[in-house]
Structure 1
């Protein structure tokens, strides 16, 4: 099989670094460039120090217009901050032959010809797509908790979500709520009921259940750890727990990364992997779905590679059989 020639814009951040860690070991990938304005000319391992000995790549500082127009380029990943992708594409015409996978929020509304890239929702539409908007991390964990219910038209009342994320979800730039001295031994709510991922969550649910118009009450938390998301989602469910298990097994049976656990789950089972693990409980008419992912892999760069694999006709799990730390 021919190798995919990859370019990365914004390779110095958390998602860019995670993408590099995966793609350096991907059996079908070679790099055309890794671009960074701030680190131009420096070795990649000078920024992502764990890659020392794994790659001799250097960050490119060349004009991006020239980089994306080079012959033989297969796909570019946009890993810059929110708002930067739209600006980049406006200033740098990308040939029609080059596929685009954007990891920002800019096109998650499926504008500008982008398709929302949640494989468990629309895998067959991703395969022929030329432009993919990678889902948000909280959105991924919550959507995967609810898609089987929406797919069977069983979201009939409000959905309640309590979810916590690691500090890497806020990006690499320091702010008062990401600084170690504030985050360490601390826990806080932010953007209660107003989180930006609610729009894409509703878009995904109504793709499967067009009439769903109930509230999704989402309380996000900042956790005192670096990686991972745990979402606890509950909504009324008339069936038995056994019926819920069958529903979820049937929905995810052909998807390689989303799995149902009979036992309670914890974040260390998914950190450093592209997995989503789900656990179901039934309490007085409410179905509780616990969903866990790594915010930088299944919630960002790993899912971006999963989308790339689908777009190029590769095995969906190529380069993504990653091992969790476990302890």
Structure 2
């Protein structure tokens, strides 16, 4: 890519739209991002990059988009964009940016884990007078004000989002003072589109398995965010992830000792998420079909003896990935936070 090509930034006023580029548009997160942005009232997709699918119509890969767009995948890059979404594998986002130094005015939203941790927030471009990018961790329920003024966003992980939303109200009130126990199950799309032994239908169907018990990589994000709110937190977070035999969604159950009453706990959670349009607190039973295909997270709060019991549910591809990326884009460009994200759940 020619890094000297001038960038045209379009102000979001007077009917102009945000010009977006997508890197890695053929995978699950890229497909979800396309479905949202094609229907977003304030966005125009400038290009969708894919080396392996260059020249093919988008609907030849994402077949449900037949009739919605005539866009084709391309191997070419353009600087004439306002925002760049990186829907690439972990480790590949940093490599891509190092090889393709987009102008600083182009905001980057990275859906990989490359910039989520504090010691990985920066990237310095080689051979460009040491120009660099700095990323803000893009969990709106934690960093909304910082996101609004950020240059670049590190989109959180799916498990990390679901679990953090279940714990942050406690940390914000210095009430996360005991060991935390978490069990969570994710759908098969959480493994990405590339086939592996544990993503084949014949293995996954009618099956359930544990993986990365106690050492899942998203624990680093969770610990970082918890300590951002409660700096003295030093208790273990015990996390057992499961592979589910369904396509999409995450359900996480977590419990810890707590001196809060049931009423105090519900009020604490409700107050924390007041004003956050996608996270909702209830004492009623919740299930995945309420949130699948939406950008919502539902949190159920109960007290059982001396245990505070929290259930958190969300769609791993939307609130856990592409939906949250668009939510971050809306905040970056001063749009209504929910713009393009009023999506309908499957329900049944």
| Equivalent-residue separation in structure 2 for 1:186 and 1:153 (angstroms) | 39
Structure 1 residue 51 corresponds to structure 2 residue 59:
no
1:205 pairs, out of 205, 213, 226, with 226
Segments ≥4 residues shifted beyond 4 Å: none
Give the aligned length. Answer: 321
1:6 counterpart residue number: 20
Distance in 1 (alpha carbons) for counterparts of 2:244 and 2:151: 36
Where does residue 277 of structure 2 map in the other structure? 256
Pairwise CA distance, 1:173: 0.2
Among 296, 302, 324, the alignment partner of 1:281 is 302
C-alpha distance in 2, partners of 1:75/1:130? 10
The answer to whether structure 1 residue 214 and structure 2 residue 222 are counterparts is: no
Matched residue SS, 2:321: helix
Unaligned stretches of 5+ residues in structure 1? none
1:18 to 23, 32, 54: 32
Alignment-derived partner of residue 90 in structure 1: 98
Deviation at 1:282, TM superposition (A): 0.8
Determine the C-alpha separation between the residues in 1 that align with 2:256 and 2:325: 30
Match of 2:198 in 1: 177
Pairwise CA RMSD of aligned residues? 0.7
Q: 1:300 — aligned with what?
A: 321
Query: Is 2:112 the counterpart of 1:104?
Result: yes
Q: d(CA) in 2 for partners of 1:94 and 1:207?
A: 31
SS of 2:320's equivalent in the other structure is helix
- Structure 2 unaligned segments of length 5 or more: list them: 1-12, 123-133
Where do residues 156-195 of structure 1 align in structure 2 (5 Å cutoff)?
Answer: 156-195=177-216
CA–CA distance in 2 between the matches of 1:297 and 1:211? Answer: 32
1:86, distance to aligned residue in structure 2 (A): 0.5
Alignment partner, residue 7 of structure 2: none
Say whether the 8 Å CA contact 2:178–2:258 is kept in structure 1.
Answer: no
Partners of 2:51 and 2:206 in 1: how far apart?
34
Q: Is the 8 A contact 2:20 2:46 kept in 1?
A: yes
Could you say what secondary structure the match of 2:283 adopts? coil
CA contact (8 A) 2:148 2:334 kept: yes
Which residue in 2 is equivalent to 1:326? 347
Contact 2:164–2:225 (Cα < 8 Å) also in 1: yes
The CA distance in 1 between the partners of 2:102 and 2:256, in whole Å, is 44
State the shift of 1:293 in Å: 0.3
Question: 1:33 matched to which residue of 2?
Answer: 47
Instruction: Measure, in 2, the Cα distance between the counterparts of 1:221 and 1:4.
Output: 38
Residues in 2 aligned to 1:261 and 1:271: alpha-carbon distance in whole angstroms: 17
Query: Which of 264, 271, 274 pairs up with 1:243?
Result: 264
Q: Deviations over 1:16-75 (max 9, x none)?
A: 00000000000000011000111110000000000000111100112x3xx2x2x3x100
**TM-score, normalised relative to structure 1:** 0.97
Is 102-111 or 219-228 further displaced after alignment? 102-111
Instruction: Give the whole-Å Cα distance in 2 for the aligned partners of 1:141 and 1:233.
Output: 11
Taking the aligned partners of 1:27 and 1:234, their CA distance within structure 2 comes to 41
- The counterpart of 1:233, out of the listed 254, 260, 269, is 254
Taking structure 2 as the reference length, the TM-score comes to 0.91
1:262 positional shift:
2.6
Residue deviations 1:246-299 (CA, integer Å, cap 9, x gap):
101100011000001231000000000000000011112110100000000000
Instruction: Work out the CA distance in 2 between the residues paired with 1:59 and 1:136.
Output: 26
